[in-house]
Amino acid sequence: MSTTLPIFDKSGSQIGGLDLSPAWLEREKGDQAVHDSVVACLAGMRAGTASTKTRGKVRGGGAKPWRQKGTGRARAGSNRSPVWRGGGIIFGPIPRSFAKHVNRKVEKLAMRRVFTERLDENAVIVVDDVVLDTPKTKGLTALLKTLGAGVDALVLVDKVEDNVRLAAQNLPSVRLMTAVTVNPYWMLLYKKIVVTRAALEVLGGRIGAREKAE
């Protein structure tokens, strides 16, 4: 079954249609792939910079606080022991990477599933091109509202233009990405996806399933 998406110009008028290849769509499987891809994306965005000092890194503690025997107190070898106030931390966090690996086939499956779901939600808007004469935020806002995307949208392009990039910087609910770098997490995060015709072709080539030989 073929799916045709209308193509709009910057004035919001339909200027044609684009037939989507069945290889770009997936409705039967991919739930787990979407979950794995989103988890991997969120994990990769974690800074992983939390750090604590062990007893070997805390300053001080070079001298034995008191002699081993005869004081009536517990034995102590350092005032930077983890049981002392100001001492080291046992098993505390250290800088690390939280990145997770997702296989290429799993990522493609997840992209097809998410793309299909957003299509079924009527959340995908195809525009001929996203071009601004000046790097003004109000220009991009007006364009998105004209297309019916509001100000909560993911804008996918094949190549980022400077004016569009600068215009999108002040819109906290608008994200500008290329079709090469987008992942399932960003495609699920926004209410609408505005994609240019060229970007959709790039995205389709990236996520398309390999057709089985008869």
What is the pLDDT at residue 29?
93
Give yes or no for a contact between 132 and 139, defined as CB atoms under 8 angstroms apart.
Answer: yes
Asked if residue 213 is part of any domain, the answer here is no
Query: Which structural domain range is residue 79 located in?
Result: 52-92
Between CA 187 and CA 145 the distance in angstroms is 19
113 contacts 31 by C-beta, under 8 angstroms = yes
Q: Token digits for 52?
A: 């604590």
Pick from 84, 194, 18, 149: which is nearest to 186 by CA? Answer: 194
Query: Do 188 and 147 fall within a single domain?
Result: yes
Residue with tokens 């989103």: 38
Do residues 62 and 148 both lie within one domain?
no
The answer, yes or no, to whether residue 212 has pLDDT greater than 90, is no
Note the pLDDT of residue 211.
55
- Same domain? For 83 and 12 the reply is no
**Residue 118 CB neighbours (<10 A):** 18
- Model confidence over 37-64: pLDDT tens digits? 999 999 999 999 999 999 999 998 889 9
Q: Residue 145 falls within a domain, yes or no?
A: yes
Read off the pLDDT of residues 137-152 as tens digits, 9 standing for 90 and up: 999 999 999 999 988 9
Q: For the CA atoms of 8, 168, 44, 91, what is the dihedral angle to 10 degrees?
A: -150
* pLDDT band for position 214 (cuts 50, 70, 90): very low
pLDDT band (50, 70, 90) for residue 2: low
- Structure confidence by residue, pLDDT tens digits, 78-108: 999 999 999 999 999 999 999 999 999 999 9
Alpha carbons 63 and 53: distance in angstroms, whole number: 19
- Report pTM: 0.83
Q: What is the pLDDT of residue 209?
A: 72
Structural domain tally of the chain? 2
Q: Which two tokens stand for residue 159?
A: 């190549």
